[in-house]
Structure 1
Amino acid sequence: MSVVEMVLVLFAGVGAGVINTIVGSGTLITFPTLVAFGVPPVTATMSNAVGLIPGNISGSFGYRRELAGQGRRVALFLPASLAGALGGAWLLLHLPEDAFVSIVPWLLVLALVLVVAQPMLQRYVRSRGPRPPGEREIGLGRAALLLPLIALCGVYGGYFAAAQGILLVGILGLLLPDTLQRHNALKNILVMAVNSVAATTYVIVASTGGRHPIDWTAVGLIAAGSLVGGWIGARVGRRLPPAVLRACIVVLGLVAIWTLVRL
């Protein structure tokens, strides 16, 4: 990478850290940036997953107050996210790269639809009325619905990651009565777990002769940027105009789709 490209990847990491913490879909910034600079798609996904971990950590730490009282939820949902992440990472590493290039544009389309539809989803959740936070509402019926859906989000996150946070917030908002901010805090923990499992898998496979290497320059730049971005997102991100964030994500997602279609 040239110096200019490295600076742009660093700033993309900052943006991804902010957006992942307060919205989800930060991958739609870093992934197309890496692909645009010549990084192969699978390598870009692997490097991006490793680089975004510091941002997941700082963002989750920033939401620690909203996590208060959700320990039982984390204990219940975390195994499903971890199992899904392993499945998604396995798919990424075993499917041929041509399949990845064919599938990812459709995943991006799905992610962008979710980004655009998020305000409607939030209005629907708010229309249900505020309910006191608590964990007693997770009965067997809700658990039977939530666990497989959260596992599928983990598969999706382990395979590509873009918009897994929005998927999780949507599922939690529909099936788990609580505030959106507490859903977002729980989402940050689950996304961090998925990304950590996927990233660890990628590093192990790449270091033992896997066919797809990791671009450690990209990892370092995204890690530094996302660490700062996660902190910013947790501190001041809620004050940013959501419409502006969504517009940026949609534009960058369309760039990624266009880039992948041309591969």
Structure 2
Amino acid sequence: MSAAELLIVAGVALLAGAVNSIAGGGSLILFPTLVALGLGTVAANVTNSLAQWPGYLGGVAGFRPEYAGQRRRLLRFGAVAVLGGLAGSVLLLTTPSDAFDVLVPVLVLLASLLLAVQPVITRRLSGVDAAEPGRDPGWLYVVLFFATAYGGYFGGALGVILVGVLGIGLQRIKLANALKSALSAVTATVTLVVFGLFGPVDWVVVAVAAPAGLVGGFLGARIATRIPATLLRVVIVTFGVAVSVYLFTRV
């Protein structure tokens, strides 16, 4: 990429990091930008995954107080996320890129629609904050595996999926939101290792986008209360749907 294109990547990554802190959906901005700048869909996906990784760590740091007393649960769920993220990332690298090209418009559209209904999910689950349940339901581990496998394969709106699944399974929306960040970070770390060793990563783009995204995430957290999240979500969802339509026309 040229210096001008890398400057665009840095600016978009900064925006994506801020968007992730404010409303979620930063991948729906950075991924299509990388495709538009000439990266193949698989290369753009794995590069985007690595570039987003520092932001997940920042989210975990911000939720540290919520993890008190959750060590065993974090270990159990984290082990599932490792297996799921590994399965998804290996599936991406071992299946034909043509298959991903066909699936990616659907995945972008799905991620956009999930982001659109995120407030509805949150409102529905906010009324089920309850006392600590005695044991996590068995189905929750199965669904978490498939959710994190999706995260390893594509990852757009993974946080929305995890909040919904964990909110229903644990009946504690605040804890679900905190665990969402931890499991997203675990999944992203797995993809970092797998894609870093075997994926078609554009390391120059990662070197520019990762720190920019980290700064954007920090700034987004600072200004989150000043920006109407609903307006931002509408813009991101509209953009995501438009991108999916464009990608459908390329298949």
- For normalisation by structure 1, the TM-score amounts to 0.87
Contact 1:14–1:230 (CA under 8 A) maintained in structure 2:
yes
Aligned match for 2:235, one of 245, 248, 252: 248
Q: Secondary structure at the match of 2:38?
A: coil
Distance 1:183 1:230, change over 3 A: farther
Corresponding letter in the other structure for 2:43: T
Equivalent position of 1:192 in the other structure: 185
Q: Secondary structure at the match of 2:19?
A: helix
- 1:123 offset after TM fit, Å? 1.4
Equivalent position of 1:162 in the other structure: 156
Distance 1:108 1:98, change over 3 A: same
Q: Please state if 1:40 is matched with 2:40.
A: yes
Contact 2:22–2:229 (CA under 8 A) maintained in structure 1:
no
Deviates more, 1:197-206 or 1:171-180: 171-180
Aligned match for 2:141, one of 140, 144, 147: 147
- 1:234 offset after TM fit, Å? 4.0
Contact 2:137–2:169 (CA under 8 A) maintained in structure 1:
no
- Segments of structure 2 that go 5 or more residues without pairing to the other structure are none
Q: Secondary structure at the match of 1:112?
A: helix
Q: Percent of pairs identical after alignment?
A: 37
Equivalent position of 1:210 in the other structure: none
Q: Please state if 1:171 is matched with 2:165.
A: yes
Equivalent position of 1:12 in the other structure: 12
- 1:109 offset after TM fit, Å? 1.6
Contact 1:56–1:230 (CA under 8 A) maintained in structure 2:
no
Corresponding letter in the other structure for 1:193: V
In 2, distance between residues paired with 1:147 and 1:200? Answer: 23
- Segments of structure 1 that go 5 or more residues without pairing to the other structure are 207-212
In 2, distance between residues paired with 1:178 and 1:49? Answer: 28
Q: Please state if 1:131 is matched with 2:130.
A: yes
Equivalent position of 1:223 in the other structure: 210
Aligned residue pairs, count: 250
Q: Please state if 1:258 is matched with 2:245.
A: yes
